[in-house]
Amino acid sequence: MILHLPVILILGGSGFLLMFSLFLPVTAIGSILGMMTLFICLSAINQVYRYWRGVDGFCEGDIWLMGAVGCWLGPFSAMLVFLMACVLGAIWGLTRIAMGQEQMTSALPFALFISIVFICWPMINLLLIV
């Protein structure tokens, strides 16, 4: 069974986040740019992958979650979160394949890796600054 969030709920949540942009490390324009940049980039990657392989590379929730991360952090930090989540997912997937528990065609829950990197982002950001 696949559950879908209504678009109005997701856009309403993004609007709610924009209300608190005064307390975020980015401006309202940076939040909008971050959300749009991540959403468009990941949708384009998914379309290319769908054309190439015939199946989706990202689930819709992954794309919306990265859009929310872009809204919170802005475009540049969100791109770093995306890249670190990709590296973390690749390490996890290759480890599972090496242990014989997964196949190359197995799907991974990418939202898990996005969430882990996003939660750890304040510590990672401090390490990147120093």
Q: Domain residues of the chain, as ranges?
A: 24-129
**pLDDT tens-digit readout, 74-94:** 888 889 999 999 999 999 888
**pLDDT tens-digit readout, 26-72:** 777 887 888 888 888 888 988 898 899 888 888 777 888 888 888 88
pLDDT at 62: 84
pLDDT at 85: 93
Distance CA 104, CA 98 (A): 10
| b (16+ CB within 10 A) / e for 40-57 | ebbeeebeeeeeeeeeeb
- pLDDT of 19 higher than 80: no
